[in-house]
Structure 1
């Protein structure tokens, strides 16, 4: 796997996903981060995930790779060079406890293998991304489907916000938010990420104590 510097994630970036969890629609991007130890590339293998810390939920997302520092006025094609699909795994019960206590989400979002990535493909511009839906299938059944055109905060807004508050440079990646349909993962579930009808990555979830 090529070196990735920072992993940024956008929370609640699809209205129906915010609604299904009973959350308010944010007024500005909700950004959190994952450590690079969270990364796991899909190649048909088994991927170990926590099995004793409450419900583990999948959240399928489009992931963009940053090629150069963002500057105001830059075209997306100047900043983003590649795109992939990914899963932002979340320990939902742990997250609910942390939110109730007013604590950061890192324990719920940043564990090992919580940032799944398919192989990257060249970025051909926003209009190309909008031409097809992305989807997640669990054991052959579609459980999530989304399109980048449905996000609350578009890519330009996200890039500008991340740069302003955290910095954004070559080697960074951004998980751009998940559509409705998130749900639990069980041991042995086979998860498949698709772009249109094309399979981009598959793996088997192996929940461990």
Structure 2
């Protein structure tokens, strides 16, 4: 096929115990999916229907973090309140449309650790004006993601410690059991809004303790049973 310029390459993420890569199609994110985080952001954590936003799927947004690697990401422009949000990431391996909660697990390829980096001041400004969040959530280098662990090796991750440190100090700590909408429910809900495809990633939400980082800070994000990621801001 003759394009007027070369199309952007597909981003591939590393997979545990194989040289094969997971090709990323879309990135979906769940908003306010831990009750304590909803409270710290000023919202009632009652179990309202989940809501979603997206991040770009290109190499300028996704930061692939290999095992035993520290990657650097630049402090982004036009913000003075740059926040970390650790998340369990679910990789979809089988197309899904209008599926039930009971069917959800069979559509999971695996899991990874991710960071939903956020220009909080810009996000809040858009929220106050009733406008979309893209400038706060969908900027360059906003989605560091680690090694994907196939569900065939991990089993379903319905309970796992999730925590993040900044410069060695714990900032976020919770458990995946505290998700308002668990992984299966999230997948089922999302499949009613979009037809999920192989290669999709779902950031499932962040626990309480979000906060700002500055140049020189180093974040370590871990979910029990998965390969953690180390990211430094420069």
Q: TM-score, normalization: structure 2?
A: 0.81
- Of the three residues 107, 119, 125, the one matched with 2:155 is 125
**Whole-angstrom distance in 2 between the partners of 1:108 and 1:205:** 17
- Of the three residues 73, 76, 79, the one matched with 1:53 is 79
**Whole-angstrom distance in 1 between the partners of 2:202 and 2:226:** 22
Q: Which structure has greater strand proportion?
A: 1
Unaligned runs of 5+ in 1: none
Structure 2 SS opposite 1:45: strand
CA deviation after TM superposition for structure 1 residue 67, in Å: 0.2
Deviations 1:114-168 (A, max 9, x none): 1110111122333x441x3021111011111121111111122211111111221
1:135 pairs with 2:163: yes
**Whole-angstrom distance in 2 between the partners of 1:197 and 1:176:** 17
**2:56 corresponds to:** 35
**1:162 corresponds to:** 190
4+ residue segments displaced more than 6 Å:
none
Segment drifting more, 178-187 vs 46-55:
46-55
Larger Rg: 2
- Whether the aligned pair in 1 keeps the contact of 2:81 and 2:121 (CA below 8 Å) is yes
Q: Give the number of aligned pairs.
A: 204
- Of the three residues 90, 94, 99, the one matched with 2:118 is 90
- Whether the aligned pair in 1 keeps the contact of 2:104 and 2:188 (CA below 8 Å) is no
- Whether the aligned pair in 1 keeps the contact of 2:94 and 2:197 (CA below 8 Å) is yes
Structure 1 SS opposite 2:139: coil
- Whether the aligned pair in 2 keeps the contact of 1:193 and 1:199 (CA below 8 Å) is no
| RMSD of aligned Cα (Å) | 1.8
**Whole-angstrom distance in 1 between the partners of 2:225 and 2:111:** 17
Q: Structure 1 residues 47 and 23 mapped into 2: Cα distance closer, same or farther (>3 Å)?
A: same
Q: Structure 1 residues 196 and 68 mapped into 2: Cα distance closer, same or farther (>3 Å)?
A: closer
Deviations 1:159-189 (A, max 9, x none): 1111111221100000000000000011011
Q: TM-score, normalization: structure 1?
A: 0.91
- Of the three residues 181, 198, 212, the one matched with 1:153 is 181
- Whether the aligned pair in 2 keeps the contact of 1:136 and 1:143 (CA below 8 Å) is yes
